Amino acid sequence: MQNDHARNVYLETQINTATPQKLRLMLIGGAIRFARQTMEHWRNEEPEQAFEALIRSRSIVSELLATIRPSSGPLERTMAAIYAYIFQTMTLAQMERSEEKLLATIQVLEEEQATWLALCEKYPHETPPSLRAEEVEITAKDYAADNESKSTTAENEPAARFSIDA
């Protein structure tokens, strides 16, 4: 019981002191974690636990979708469509008990996680000025600097551009 309390205090501190980009990264990580738990519960024939885990993952995806301003531009509309796809596919995965569909959503979320991780590494302690305003751009050069795989994007072309409500 004391261990749970300490964990909750730690998590609350992490959330209260996190930058907007770190909060988003934490949410994406939670959605992935709960989706994986769902698959594990399906394999162990634990339908109630699987249902609860998938509901939590979908709730996080719904929250991620709610923070996007679709009227801001085409990239935001694209991101909103991606989160809507993830939510819809998770719902289908639940109805069909399809690990394949759920795994597809996890893969998309992992790509999103990599993008936000790159942003957090570039701005670990502060909110990027353009994220506070409207837009942040991570170039392929920035992203490839900490990754072993080579980017297929030209060195200074944007690898990701997005805006969120901070």
Return the domain boundaries, the chain: 2-162
Whether pTM > 0.85 for this model: the answer is no
Mean pLDDT of the chain: 78
What is the rounded CA–CA span in Å between residue 53 and residue 55?
Answer: 5
What's the CATH number for 2-162? 1.20.120.340
Query: In this predicted model, what pLDDT tens digit does every residue of 29-79 receive, in sequence order?
Result: 999 999 999 999 999 999 999 999 999 999 999 999 998 876 778 888 888
**Confidence check: pLDDT of 144 > 70:** no
> How far lies 103's CA from each of 30, 92, 120, in Å?
15, 12, 25
